A and B are shown apart, each in its own frame.
Chain A
Amino acid sequence: MKIKTIRLLLLLSIFSCFNIDAKIQQAYVDQADANFFDQLNQSDQDSTFYCNAKVVAPSHISSQLNYDQIYTKAICDEIQCRQFFHMTLEQKRLLLKLNYNDFVHKLLSKDDLSDQAIWTLWHEYKNKRLWDWDNEKFENEIKIKNTLKLRQKHREQQNTLAQQHSFTQLLPKEIIYLKSAYELPINNSKNHTIQKLVAARELALQQTENDNFKQYDASYTLTPQAQAYLKLHDINATHYHNFYGTTLQQQLHYEICSVFEQAAILQHNIPCQSNFLQYSVMCADAAHDLNKLEQIQMVVALNNLSFQFLNTVETYSLAAAHGALSGLSNMIFGWTQLPETIECLAKSLHYVFESCALSSCALEYGFEDLFIELRDARNEEITMGLQALGQVISKSTGPERVEALVQFAVNFRMPTKIVHALGGVLGVTRSQATLTKSAQAITTMVGEQIAASETTGQLAQTLQKAEIILQEGVVQQTAKTLQDTTRHLTEPTKRITRKKISQPSDSLSQINPQTLLDRNLKIAESRSLSAIRTETLPDGRIRYYGPETLASTPGPTRGSTYVTEYDPTRGRIRGWYESRTHTNQINRVHPKMIDGENIDSLHYPHTKKELENIAQRIKGNK
């Protein structure tokens, strides 16, 4: 009996022990579960969660039973499932048990699921039913992929819009600040161009205020000529291709780009490096930097100055060129054999008159110019020299006129400037004696100009300035042109023969090679963007084929295509139309363009009309 009682007691105690363990275990799970969810709400980091899980598990329980690891894992899975799939493990299990159609429907109807979650669920479902995965389901898989991509794009767009919207919502204080910063300066200029600009700016300012100072990105295209001109001034043209700012800032940026383009055109028209154009480009470049900082008033002032510089050069120098040409045309009338000489003389005069413009303009705008005095003196001498030249030319004929022109340059009454520079080019000042003479002339002139009361130090400074002028490339350029003229005089027959041969390549030689390369590259880029087919030849040439235009009438020809061929090694480009037969053989070619220039060429083989014209011409000659 006792033994039986003891056994019973032992069994009871063991049972109660198990019961206690189960209770403790349940309590632990509940507590852990609650703690874990709290922790999860506080932090989304999985690492933090695992770390906290270890802290919560009491060591005495884990030592008794190994439940903690099992439950921790179960809870982790549960939480991960809720976090990632937005559903419990049970819900997920039920979802994966659904038939195919219901599964797809439920999966896609869950808007809160991320694309990755949808894709994970899809793969889990697919892996369980690979034996039943037919082609239709594979196609569906692709469709779902596309749907997800579209949805992702839509979300991104919405995010971008939301960002833009939040950005435009400026605080009232910020708007007050911007309104004060965006005030346009009062303009008193009578200049027509600037008055036009002022109207455009006011309109842009109004638009800016209506848009609540919203900033946006806009792209600009500078002409290849302007880009090349900026390159000359070590300015990176790509910095001007895009601008981010308000409508007013965009208007100011547009003005800056216009300054560059106009300056490039003017520079192309005048023979020498114009200081004024350089100043205008410098101003515009500075304005660009300030525009980025929203220093509106400064930008407006600089832009006005840039346009004033441009207008000055345009008005003075173009009028000078025109005046010089018309004034001299009477004297050199009939001298048709030497058009280069006329051009050269006009260019020299152009330079002279531009110098006048520089001086007077510098005074008008108060722009600091170190050489005003010297330039004024030079201009007086130029006037006298021109008068003397005019007298000589009116009395002489033919080659004597050219000689007089060269003599004008060499013996011109500007010993300090032109003779020295010309001497270097023409070889006049090769001897030491002549050099000394030139130096003496400089001293004499400068000495006369500054009064006797000037100190020696000031004289030295003035001499230094004169030396800088001596190095001006402009003078050397004029001298070179004159030298060319003399060379042409000795070989008139050769020059005239060459002139008679009129080929596209002749005219191309007049274009600046860098401009030509830039333009060709631009054409090639444009064609590459719109080409239907591209073909690279073994020597590196690339051919861009446009879309085919089909023939409208039945016949041997199927259609015609425009082809552009770019040679990257030489930088040359050409274009032609080619028509093809129904067997894709080329049956006619018509060259149309070489290096961006339209050419007037015959078809190869010639068309019926062309053959008739040729026959008629031959008949006429006979």
Chain B
Amino acid sequence: MYTKQQFGRELKSLLTQQKISAASIGSWAHAKYYDYIDKIDPHSGFGEFLLQLGTMEMGPEFERSHKELNNIADRLIAGEDVKL
């Protein structure tokens, strides 16, 4: 089972790379969804969260700052339900 805590940790480590753009993170989140589609509970809403995070690559109006993403990662690690 792929959990939000696991994703939160991965996101946190990804954010340590300073040059990574929000669009790339969005694309990465989308790819994660299809990589782990079998291991994500469809009723948990976590899959939808990943796809919603993927919208960051749709344009600057959907992008989130590294600070916001860091905050999201922390909340995910803490086991909170994050809604975008």
Contacts and interface: CB of A to CB of B under 8 A. Distances in A.
Contacts of B54: 562, 577, 592
Given A529-B43, A552-B61, A577-B55, A522 B48 contact: no
Given A560-B58, A590-B58, A547 B52 contact: yes
Contacts of A547: 48, 52
A547 B64 CA distance: 18
A224, A551, A555: residue with the most chain B Cβ atoms closer than 10 Å: A551
A323 interface: no
A395 B48 CA distance: 60
A596 interface: yes
Interface residues of A, number: 30
A193 interface: no
A549 B47 contact: no
A224 B63 CA distance: 35
A593 interface: yes
Interface residues of B, number: 25
A598 B30 CA distance: 8
Given A590-B57, A590-B58, A607-B59, A529 B42 contact: yes
Interface string B48-78: 1001101101111111100000000000000
B20 interface: no
A261 to B, nearest CB: 11
A530 B47 contact: yes
A223 B38 contact: yes
Interface in A587-601: 588, 590, 592-593, 596-598
A283 to B, nearest CB: 25
Contacts of B58: 560, 577, 579, 588, 590, 603
A546 interface: yes
A613 to B, nearest CB: 13
Residue among B39, B52, B59 having the largest count of chain A Cβ atoms under 10 Å? B59
Interface of A: 221, 223-224, 522-523, 525-526, 529-530, 546-547, 549, 551-553, 555, 557, 560, 562, 577, 579, 588, 590, 592-593, 596-598, 603, 607
Q: A-B pairs with the 6 shortest C-beta distances?
A: A551-B61, A529-B42, A560-B55, A562-B51, A549-B55, A560-B58
Given A221-B38, A562-B54, 11 more contacts: A526-B40, A529-B43, A546-B52, A549-B62, A551-B59, A552-B64, A560-B62, A562-B55, A588-B59, A592-B54, A596-B34
11 contacts: A522-B37, A522-B38, A526-B37, A526-B42, A530-B47, A552-B63, A577-B55, A579-B55, A579-B62, A588-B59, A592-B30
